[in-house]
């Protein structure tokens, strides 16, 4: 089963499942299409946006589990 970690590049996470995009956007990370998403980790982006990254990782992994990924 696929799982994301905070050290994954945002574009890698989106490649796993595009359903991750709304989760990131709801968290305030509207940069999913910007060039930074190609080389920035979830932890780096979360820091910039002032997010609790571990909570976001759990939310994404819960979503992936429900999708059977």
37 within domain boundaries: yes
What integer pLDDT is reported at residue 37 of this predicted model?
Answer: 73
36 within domain boundaries: yes
5 within domain boundaries: no
| DSSP calls for 5-68 | -TTSBHHHHHHH-TTHHHHHHHTT-TTTTSGGGGT-BHHHHHHHHT--HHHHHHHHHHHHHHHT
1 within domain boundaries: no
User: In angstroms, rounded to a whole number, what is the distance separating the alpha carbons of residues 1 and 34?
Assistant: 28
Report pLDDT digits (tens) over 10-30.
Answer: 999 999 999 999 999 999 888
Domain count for the chain, please give it: 1
What pTM, to 2 d.p., does this model score?
0.89
Residue 41 sits in which domain range?
Answer: 10-67
Report pLDDT digits (tens) over 27-55.
Answer: 988 877 777 778 899 999 999 889 999 99
Q: Which candidate, 1, 46, 44, 2, places its Cα nearest to that of 24?
A: 46
Looking up residue 36, the CATH number of its domain turns out to be: 1.10.3910.10
3 within domain boundaries: no
């Amino acid at each position: 089963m696929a799982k994301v970690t905070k050290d994954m590049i945002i574009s890698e996470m989106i490649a796993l499942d595009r359903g991750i995009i709304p989760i990131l956007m709801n968290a305030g990370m509207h940069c999913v299409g910007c060039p930074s998403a190609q080389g920035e980790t979830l932890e780096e982006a979360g820091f910039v946006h002032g997010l609790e990254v571990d909570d976001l990782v759990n939310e994404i992994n819960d979503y992936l589990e429900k999708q059977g990924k």
